Amino acid sequence: MLNTTIKTTKSQEVFAAAQNLMPGGVSSPVRAFKSVGGQPIVFDRVKGAYIWDVDGNQYIDYVGTWGPAICGHAHPEVIAALHEALEKGTSFGAPSVLENVLAEMVIDAVPSIEMVRFVNSGTEACMGVLRLMRAFTNREKIIKFEGCYHGHADAFLVKAGSGVATLGLPDSPGVPKLATSTTLTAPFNDLEAVKALFEENRDEIAGVILEPVVGNAGFIAPDAGFLEGLRELTHEYGALLVFDEVMTGFRIAYGGAQEKFGVTPDLTTLGKVIGGGLPVGAYGGRRDIMSMVAPAGPVYQAGTLSGNPLAMTAGIKTLELLQKPGTYEYLERITKKLADGLLQIAKETGHPVCGGQISAMFGLFFTSGPVHNYEDAKKSDTAKFGRFHRGILERGVYLAPSQFEAGFTSFAHTEEDIEQTLAVARDVMSSI
Ligand SMILES: *Cc1c(COP(=O)(O)O)cnc(C)c1O
């Protein structure tokens, strides 16, 4: 039974104590619920599509630890594989067969990837790819898009989406001007703006990096022709195209957004799903470019825990589970049911909203839209989103605590979970 009112005494105690111990009481900013008001719930355990908090309340989860939990939390086969791997030790710091296995799976799945380097987070993957883009082209400038998040490295903290957008920070103090002076930005879905930047910076732009489907400014899909247009422009101006598929990889489709949209970038970053809930990131792409990475080539990048056997094991088992026939059809079906249902309910209860879904990724903006870019997304009624968020939380549905984050489903979510969620949403939308 899902709760309709919640008691959160223990969550409040733990979070109050955390304030003294860690900045903002958290290990990553959006978790603090700043933009939706109220206090975060403190988790005790997760399983399948559900979360239990320290007060014993149960929630249907649409955050999925920010993306990795596409098989549902603590899938029994992932847990069993981890138990077995654990007996062999927690870290090798040396080559292992497991790295070969996951590397082959990634190379087979992702069209652009011919060689891959494993790291420990999406941030690290994007840092590595940035250095490589610059080294390969011998150019320093890059183009990113407003509202796209590529981790917290200095060069990317320009109009960066995610927590930066959630907290309304234009940039971050502590980032030297020089670190971002080579970062050019354009509005998402605006090919003309990208072309203008290439014209103004001839022979200076190493490449274009983007979330092919944006999830860090809320959910924003690419307009027809946008990804193709970027592929053409980067070819025309001798620059690299990089898809940051840390979120979309193995989620939008098994081969990521590049498989879904049939546009192959030169380089790709991965994270989240490929770690199956353990810390993993990766970057990969064309063999001639990847061959520049040390020790094959001169571009330095390293990691004590990179290729960690537990993380590789969780990733391998997660990808194996995703390969089962019908997985993505199921994810598409339940997620569409959820996204369509939310839009319909909002319409019936008189709220201007827009949103959508691709495979197991969805979003809902409290604005009539349409939302093509971050400027459009910012027109959302974030105060109303906050009330909606709190309302459904108190009725047992856990959604990312920000208007500017996408939602995620898993194949552990049942039709009944979706129906329950829609009933809760109707209840709350009628009263906000
Ligand atoms: C989450 C995310 C990152 C950063 O990954 P971390 O593992 O949090 O460092 C980078 N790019 C995109 C698109 C992401 O969604």
Residues 211 and 259 in one domain: yes
What tens digit of pLDDT does each residue of 191-249 get?
999 999 999 999 999 999 999 999 999 999 999 999 999 999 999 999 999 999 999 99
> Quick one: which atom of ligand 1 is closest to the CA of 126?
10
Domain count, the chain: 2
- Cα torsion 334, 336, 339, 342 to 10°: value is -70
Q: Compute the distance from residue 350 Cα to the ligand 1 centre, in Å.
A: 35
* 147 and 214 Cβ atoms separated by less than 8 Å: yes
Q: What is the mean pLDDT of residues 14-19?
A: 96
Range of the domain at 375: 9-62+325-429
Residue 121 CA: nearest ligand 1 atom is 7
pLDDT the model gives residue 168: 52
Return the pLDDT at 176: 87
**For residue 2, pLDDT beyond 60:** no
pLDDT of residue 3: 45
Q: Are residues 171 and 26 in the same domain?
A: no
- If you average pLDDT over every residue of the chain, what do you get? 95
Asked if the model's pLDDT at residue 163 lies above 60, the reply is yes
**Ligand 1 pocket, 244 CB below 6 A?**
yes
Looking at the predicted structure, is the pLDDT value of residue 169 above 60?
no
> What are the Cα distances from residue 122, in Å, to 2, 127, 247, 344?
34, 9, 9, 35
Residues 308, 180 share a domain = yes
Are 349 and 270 in a shared domain? Answer: no
What's the pLDDT at 314? 98
Decide if 229 is inside a domain.
yes
Q: How does pLDDT run across 323-333, given as a tens digit for each residue? A: 999 999 999 99
Quick one: pLDDT at residue 167? 56
Residue 68 lies in a domain: no
d(CA 211, CA 221): 10
The pLDDT of residue 158: 87
Residues 333-368 pLDDT 10s: 999 999 999 999 999 999 999 999 999 999 999 999
| CA contacts within 13 A on the Cβ side of 56 | 2
In the prediction, which pLDDT does 171 show? 72
Does 247 sit in the ligand 1 pocket, CB within 6 Å?
A: yes
Domain boundary among 322, 337, 369: 322
Nearest CA to ligand 1 atom 6: 122
| Residue 159 counted as domain residue | yes
For residue 351, tell me if it sits in a domain. Answer: yes
pTM for this one?
Answer: 0.96
Q: Does the beta carbon of 249 sit less than 6 angstroms from any atom of ligand 1? A: no
Is residue 271 located within the same domain as residue 358? no
Q: Which of 302, 322, 342 is the last residue of a domain?
A: 322
Asked, for residue 70, whether it belongs to a domain, the answer is no
Could you tell me the distance, in angstroms and rounded to a whole number, from the CA of residue 164 to the centre of ligand 1? Answer: 13
Nearest alpha carbon to residue 125 among 268, 257, 266, 264: 268
269-312 per-position pLDDT tens digit? 999 999 999 999 999 999 999 999 999 999 999 999 999 999 99
Give residue 38's pLDDT. Answer: 85
How buried is 20 (Cβ within 10 angstroms: 0-12 exposed, 13-18 middle, 19+ buried)? exposed
Higher local confidence (pLDDT), 66 or 158: 66
**In the numeric block, which tokens belong to residue 313?**
């094991």
User: Considering the domain boundaries, does residue 384 fall inside one?
Assistant: yes
**pLDDT of amino acid 164:** 66
Cα–Cα nearest to 95, from 239, 280, 306, 287:
306
Report the residue among 123, 145, 213 best suited for mutation to probe ligand 1: largest number of ligand atoms under 8 A from its CB. Answer: 123
Lowest mean pLDDT segment, chosen from 10-14, 164-168, 207-211, 290-294: 164-168
**Going by CA atoms, what residue is nearest to atom 8 of ligand 1?**
122
Residue-wise pLDDT for 409-427, tens only, equals 999 999 999 999 999 999 9
Examine the fold and report which residue of 296, 322, 348 is the final residue of a domain before the chain moves on: 322
Is the CB of 63 inside a 6 Å radius of any atom of ligand 1? no
Radius of gyration of the chain (CA): 21
183 lines ligand 1 (CB under 6 A): no
Together in a domain, 33 and 120: no
At residue 159 the predicted structure's pLDDT band, cuts being 50, 70 and 90, is: confident
Residue 210 CB less than 6 A away from ligand 1? no
Query: Is residue 160 located within the same domain as residue 229?
Result: yes
Q: Is the CB of 121 under 6 A from ligand 1?
A: yes
Q: Are 269 and 126 in contact (CB under 8 A)?
A: yes
- pLDDT > 90? residue 54: yes
Are 334 and 414 in a shared domain?
Answer: yes
Distance CA 233, CA 401 (A): 36
* Closest atom of ligand 1 relative to the 244 alpha carbon: 13
> Any idea which residues carry the catalytic annotation?
149, 244, 272
Same domain, yes or no: 371 and 247: no
pLDDT band at 1 (very low <50, low <70, confident <90, very high): very low
Terminal C-alpha separation, the chain: 24
Position 177 confidence tier, pLDDT thresholds 50, 70, 90: confident
pLDDT of residue 312: 98
What is the structure's pLDDT at 166? 57
Nearest CA to ligand 1 atom 11: 150
CATH number assigned to the domain comprising residue 17? 3.90.1150.10
pLDDT at 57: 97
